C-alpha cells in the first residue's frame, strides 16, 4: 500500500483570486519603488522614449473628437488616478473603519492622504495613498511596498452609501497569508495592472522577488484597445493613404469580424492565465497571450453559470448570441462603455417585442409580492430571466452574459442556480420548475449545461455524454473544452483517447490546448503532441511543450527538434511570468519534477509555501517527493501539517494512513484511513481500511468497510473480490455467491466477476 503519486490538486482555494480587480473597467500605472512618493513614470509617449510608438489618448483627440469626448469621464478614463483632492472620494477627515477582518484610520496630512493599518509584519503603520483605483460603485486605494509593489488597501469607499466598507469580509486574512492585503492576493502588479492600464509589462524578477512594472499611460486609454497609434497617424497622414482595413495600422476597427472583436475585449474581460510578460497588439488570437478559464468549479457553477469573478468573456462565448455574430459593441457604446439603450428596448432592437416583451412570454406583471431579491426588477425585464447576476466586491452587481433560458428543472436534478429562484428565494426549485412547465410545456431545448451538470453530480455515468459533447461541432468551443478537461482522468478509455486526439486538430485553439493537456496521461500522447509544436497559436504550442517535458528527446522527430526548442522556451517564459503566484510557482515545481530534477522541485515547492503558507497542494506534492527519497519522517510531518490546517483534507488522511500502515503503525493507519473515508467519501480509503481490518481479524469492521466502498463504486471487481475473500475466510461461500450474482445483474459483462463466480463454483 504505497502513497499515491504526486497530484495537481489544491485543497485551499483562495476566496479571492481577483481581489485586486475592482470592476470590469479599471486602469493602472507604475510607481518608482526607490521613491514611493514620486509621480508615475510613463514610458512610450515621449518621442525620445525607447518605445515611441505610443501617442497617448490626447494624441487621438484631434481626429476622433466624438470618440474622445465619449471616453472622457468613463470608467476606463477614471480607472486609476493620482490621489488628489479632486479624485479621492473617500472620507479622510480622521475617519475610521472597524471589522473582524480589518481596522483602519484615514487622515490627511500636508503631503496627501494616509491610511493607518497593520501591514505584512502585523505592525500598524501609516501608508500614503498614491493612487485611486476605480470610481464606482466603489473606489479603492493603492500604496507603495518594497520590491516595486503597489498594494490595494483592504478597505474601500462605497460610493453608493458614502461609507467605508470591507469588500471581502469573509477572508479573515492574517499577515503572511497570500490573501492578506499586504501579500500577493492584493498586489497591483500581478493582480490588476495587466488589464487595467496601457501597454503593461509586469517585469517580475524571480531571483530578487521584485517588480519593475512599466506602462505607457496611466489609465485605460485609446491605445489600450486600439494599439500604438504612431504608425496609424503616419499612415493616414501620408500622401498615398490607403483606407483598407489592413492598411490602417490599428486594432479593433469598424468592420472587423465579431469574434475577433470579442477576443480583443476578452483580453481584459475574461478570467484567464497570462502567458507572456506583455500583450503585443496585432496578435490575431487571444490565446497567443492568455489562456481563458474553463467552465468548471470553483470559478463557474457546474453548468457554466457565473460563480466567482469571471468577467463576462467565458459567459458570453457560451451564448447563442455570440455564435450568431453578436459582439460587445452591439449592446455597449465602445467609448463611454455605457449601454446604448436602457431596458428592454436594447433587446427588442433584435428580438420581436410582440413575441417576447409581453406577459404571454415572461408571465410577469407589476406585482412584487412574491419577490424577495431587490436586485431584480419586476420580472418583466429581459435581463431578469436571461441575465441573472451576483454581487462581487461587496456591492458590485454583475450579470451573467451567457443569455440562457432559466432551467429550474436542472436545479432540482443537480442543485445548480436558476433565475426564478434568484428572485423567488422563498420558493423551491420544484415550484419554479412546475411553473415553467405550466407556461412552456414539458420539453426544454437541449443545452450542454445538462451534460456538464450531470458530470459533476453523476461522474460515473457521464463519460459517453461528455465524449458526445466533445465531438459535437455545433456546441460552444468553451463547453467542448470543458468536457475535454473533465474527461482527462478517463484518457485510458479508447473512446476518450480517440475523441481527445481528434480534438487536438480542432478549429478552436482553446479546445486544441485543452485536449493536448488532457492527453498528458495517455501512453500514446507523443504523436498528437509533436504535431502541434508548430501550431499557429502560442497557448497550443505551450501545451504541447509542457506535455513533452518528460518524453526522452530521442522520441521527438529530428525534423521537429527546433520547433520543440522554441515551444519549450515559450513554455518556460509562461512559467516565469506566473512565478509570483503560488499556482505559478507550483507549476514550476511540477515542471522540475517531471524533468527528474527532484532537488529543484523540492526548492520550488518550498518557494510556493513562502508565497502562500496555506497552499497545502505544495505540501502534499513535497510529501510525495520526500517519500520517494525515503524521507519518511519529513513526509509524515507534511501530512500532519496539512491535516492540522485542514482537518477535512481527505487525501492527506488517506496518504498518512497508507504511510502509517507501511511503517507498521496499524492503529494510526486505521484511524487515518477511516478519517479519509468519512471526510472524502473515498471508496479506496474504505477498501484499504477493510483490508487492514481483515488482516487483524476484525471481521465485522472489515465487512462494513467493504460494503461502504461498494456503495460508492458499485460493481468494482477489486472491492467485490476483497469482500468475497473475507466471506471465504469465514466459509460463507453462499453469501459470497449472492454478492456476485447481485453485482452481475447490473454488470452482466464484467469478466472479473464472471471469473470470480467460476472460481467459487469450482471450489464448491
Q: What is the mean pLDDT of residues 553-582?
A: 97
Q: CB-side exposure of 627: number of CA atoms within 13 Å?
A: 24
Give the 3-state secondary structure of 26-50. CCCCCCCCCCCCCCCCCCCCCCCCC
Pair (324, 376) in one structural domain:
yes
Burial 635-663, CB ≥16 within 10 A → b, else e: bbebbebbbeebeebbbbbbbbbbbbbee
Nearest-angstrom CA–CA distance, 677 and 658: 13
Beta bridge partners of 187: 151
Alpha-helical (H) ranges within 72-204 are 188-191
Q: Which of 247, 271, 297 is the last residue of a domain?
A: 247
Pair (355, 224) in one structural domain:
no
Pair (205, 262) in one structural domain:
no
Nearest-angstrom CA–CA distance, 54 and 45: 5
Q: CB-side exposure of 592: number of CA atoms within 13 Å?
A: 18
Pair (273, 133) in one structural domain:
no
Residues 6+ apart with CB under 8 A from 755: none
Pair (220, 279) in one structural domain:
no
Pair (221, 295) in one structural domain:
no
Which of 1-10, 254-263, 326-335 is the least confident region?
1-10
pTM beyond 0.85, yes or no:
yes
Question: Into how many domains does the chain fold?
Answer: 2
The pLDDT of residue 754:
80
The pLDDT confidence band at residue 284, using thresholds 50, 70 and 90, is low
What's the angle, vertex CA 662, arms to CA 661 and CA 666, rounded to 5?
25
Pair (61, 136) in one structural domain:
yes
Mean of pLDDT over the chain:
89
Nearest-angstrom CA–CA distance, 636 and 626: 10
Q: Which of 404, 425, 460 is the last residue of a domain?
A: 404
Beta bridge partners of 332: 339
The pLDDT of residue 372:
52
Q: What is the mean pLDDT of residues 597-622?
A: 96
The pLDDT of residue 734:
83
Residues 6+ apart with CB under 8 A from 610: none
Report the 10 Å Cβ neighbour count for 382. 19
In a domain, 652, yes or no: no
Pair (193, 286) in one structural domain:
no
Is residue 39 scored above 80 in pLDDT? no
- Asked if 617 and 587 touch (Cβ cutoff 8 Å), the reply is no
Report the 10 Å Cβ neighbour count for 225. 20
Q: Which of 201, 223, 247 is the last residue of a domain?
A: 247
Pair (150, 264) in one structural domain:
no
Report the 10 Å Cβ neighbour count for 607. 18
Report the 10 Å Cβ neighbour count for 675. 23
In a domain, 563, yes or no: no
The pLDDT confidence band at residue 376, using thresholds 50, 70 and 90, is very low
- Asked if 188 and 152 touch (Cβ cutoff 8 Å), the reply is yes
In a domain, 442, yes or no: no
Pair (223, 310) in one structural domain:
no
pLDDT tens profile 677-734 = 999 889 999 999 999 999 999 999 999 999 999 999 887 888 988 898 888 888 888 8
In a domain, 475, yes or no: no
Closest CA to 726 of 760, 686, 695, 764: 695
The pLDDT confidence band at residue 266, using thresholds 50, 70 and 90, is very high
Pair (185, 303) in one structural domain:
no
In a domain, 91, yes or no: yes
Which of 79-93, 197-211, 361-375, 570-584 is the least confident region?
361-375
In a domain, 544, yes or no: no
Residues 6+ apart with CB under 8 A from 76: 25, 27, 219, 220, 221, 224, 337
Its domain, for residue 333, covers 258-363+372-404
In a domain, 355, yes or no: yes
The pLDDT confidence band at residue 136, using thresholds 50, 70 and 90, is very high
In a domain, 594, yes or no: no
Residues 6+ apart with CB under 8 A from 281: 226, 227, 228, 251
DSSP at 578: T
Q: For 143, list phi and psi in degrees, rounded to 5.
A: -130, 160
Closest CA to 28 of 229, 216, 281, 310: 216
Pair (208, 313) in one structural domain:
no
pLDDT tens profile 377-398 = 578 999 999 999 999 999 999 9
Burial 258-294, CB ≥16 within 10 A → b, else e: beebbbbbbbbbbbbbbbbbbbebebebbbbbbbbbb
- Asked if 274 and 194 touch (Cβ cutoff 8 Å), the reply is yes
SS3 324: coil
Amino acid at each position: 500500500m504505497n502513497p499515491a503519486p504526486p497530484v495537481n490538486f489544491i485543497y485551499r482555494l483562495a476566496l479571492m483570486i481577483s481581489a485586486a480587480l475592482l470592476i470590469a473597467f479599471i486602469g493602472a500605472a507604475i510607481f518608482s519603488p526607490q521613491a514611493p512618493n514620486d509621480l508615475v513614470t510613463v514610458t512610450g509617449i515621449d518621442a525620445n522614449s525607447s518605445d515611441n510608438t505610443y501617442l497617448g489618448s490626447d494624441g487621438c483627440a484631434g481626429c476622433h473628437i466624438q470618440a474622445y469626448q465619449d471616453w472622457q469621464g468613463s470608467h476606463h478614463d477614471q480607472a486609476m488616478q493620482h490621489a488628489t483632492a479632486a479624485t479621492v472620494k473617500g472620507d479622510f477627515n480622521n475617519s475610521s473603519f472597524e471589522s473582524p477582518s480589518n481596522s483602519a484610520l484615514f487622515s490627511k496630512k500636508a503631503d496627501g492622504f494616509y491610511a493607518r493599518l497593520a501591514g505584512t509584519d502585523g505592525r500598524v503603520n501609516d501608508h500614503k495613498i498614491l493612487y485611486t483605483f476605480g470610481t464606482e460603485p466603489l473606489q479603492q486605494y493603492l500604496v507603495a511596498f518594497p520590491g516595486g509593489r503597489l498594494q490595494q488597501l483592504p478597505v474601500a469607499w462605497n460610493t453608493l452609501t458614502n461609507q467605508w466598507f470591507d469588500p471581502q469580509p469573509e477572508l479573515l486574512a492574517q499577515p503572511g497569508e497570500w490573501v492578506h492585503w499586504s501579500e500577493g492576493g492584493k498586489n497591483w502588479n500581478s493582480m490588476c495592472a495587466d488589464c487595467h492600464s496601457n501597454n503593461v509589462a509586469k517585469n517580475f524578477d524571480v531571483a530578487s522577488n521584485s517588480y519593475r512594472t512599466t506602462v505607457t499611460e496611466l489609465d485605460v486609454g485609446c491605445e489600450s484597445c486600439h494599439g500604438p497609434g504612431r504608425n496609424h497617424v503616419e499612415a493616414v497622414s501620408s500622401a498615398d493613404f490607403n483606407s483598407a482595413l489592413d492598411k490602417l495600422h490599428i486594432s479593433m476597427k469598424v468592420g472587423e469580424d465579431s469574434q475577433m472583436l470579442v477576443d480583443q475585449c476578452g483580453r481584459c474581460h475574461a478570467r484567464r492565465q497570462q502567458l507572456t510578460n506583455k500583450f503585443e497588439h496585432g496578435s490575431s488570437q487571444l490565446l497567443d497571450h492568455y489562456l481563458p478559464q474553463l467552465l468548471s468549479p470553483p470559478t463557474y457553477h457546474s453548468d457554466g453559470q457565473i460563480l466567482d469573478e469571471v468577467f463576462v468573456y467565458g459567459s458570453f462565448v457560451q451564448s447563442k448570441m455570440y455564435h450568431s455574430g453578436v459582439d460587445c459593441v452591439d449592446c455597449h457604446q465602445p467609448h463611454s462603455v455605457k449601454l446604448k439603450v436602457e431596458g428592454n428596448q436594447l433587446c427588442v432592437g433584435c428580438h420581436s417585442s410582440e413575441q417576447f416583451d409581453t406577459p404571454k412570454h415572461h408571465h410577469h406583471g407589476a406585482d412584487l409580492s412574491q419577490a424577495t431579491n431587490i436586485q431584480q426588477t419586476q420580472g418583466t425585464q429581459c435581463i431578469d430571466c436571461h441575465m441573472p447576476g451576483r454581487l462581487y466586491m461587496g456591492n458590485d452587481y454583475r450579470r451573467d452574459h451567457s443569455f440562457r433560458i432559466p432551467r429550474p428543472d436542472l436545479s432540482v436534478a443537480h442543485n445548480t442556480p436558476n433565475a426564478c429562484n434568484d428572485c423567488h428565494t422563498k420558493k423551491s426549485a420544484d415550484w419554479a420548475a412546475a411553473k415553467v412547465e405550466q407556461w412552456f410545456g414539458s420539453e426544454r431545448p437541449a443545452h450542454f449545461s445538462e451534460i456538464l451538470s450531470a458530470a459533476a453530480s453523476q461522474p460515473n455515468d457521464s463519460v459517453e455524454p461528455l465524449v458526445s459533447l466533445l465531438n459535437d461541432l455545433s456546441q460552444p468551443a468553451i463547453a467542448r473544452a470543458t468536457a475535454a478537461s473533465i474527461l482527462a482522468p478517463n484518457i485510458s478509455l479508447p473512446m476518450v483517447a480517440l475523441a481527445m486526439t481528434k480534438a487536438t486538430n480542432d478549429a478552436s485553439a482553446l479546445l486544441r490546448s485543452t485536449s493536448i493537456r488532457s492527453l498528458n496521461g495517455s501512453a500514446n500522447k507523443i504523436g498528437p503532441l509533436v504535431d502541434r509544436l508548430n501550431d499557429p497559436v502560442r497557448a497550443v504550442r505551450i501545451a504541447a511543450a509542457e506535455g513533452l517535458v518528460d518524453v526522452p528527446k530521442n522520441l521527438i522527430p529530428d525534423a521537429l527538434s527546433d520547433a520543440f526548442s522554441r515551444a519549450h522556451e515559450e513554455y518556460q517564459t509562461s512559467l516565469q511570468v506566473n512565478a509570483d503566484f503560488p499556482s505559478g510557482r507550483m507549476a514550476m515545481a511540477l515542471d522540475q519534477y517531471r524533468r527528474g530534477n527532484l532537488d529543484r522541485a523540492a526548492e520550488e515547492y518550498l518557494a510556493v509555501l513562502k508565497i502562500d503558507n496555506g497552499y497545502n497542494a505544495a505540501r502534499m506534492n513535497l510529501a510525495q517527493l520526500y517519500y520517494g527519497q525515503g524521507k519518511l519522517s519529513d513526509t509524515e510531518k507534511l501530512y500532519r501539517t496539512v491535516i492540522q490546517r485542514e482537518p477535512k483534507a481527505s487525501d492527506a488522511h488517506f496518504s498518512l494512513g497508507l504511510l502509517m500502515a507501511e511503517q507498521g503503525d496499524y492503529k494510526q493507519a486505521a484511524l487515518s484511513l477511516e478519517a479519509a473515508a468519512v471526510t472524502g467519501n473515498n471508496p479506496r480509503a474504505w477498501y484499504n481500511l477493510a483490508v487492514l481490518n481483515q488482516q487483524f481479524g476484525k471481521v465485522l469492521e472489515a465487512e462494513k468497510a467493504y460494503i461502504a466502498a461498494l456503495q460508492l463504486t458499485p460493481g468494482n471487481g477489486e472491492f467485490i473480490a476483497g469482500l468475497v475473500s473475507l466471506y471465504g475466510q469465514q466459509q460463507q461461500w453462499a453469501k459470497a455467491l449472492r454478492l456476485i450474482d447481485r453485482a452481475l445483474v447490473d454488470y452482466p459483462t464484467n469478466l472479473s466477476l464472471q471469473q470470480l463466480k467460476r472460481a467459487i463454483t469450482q471450489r464448491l
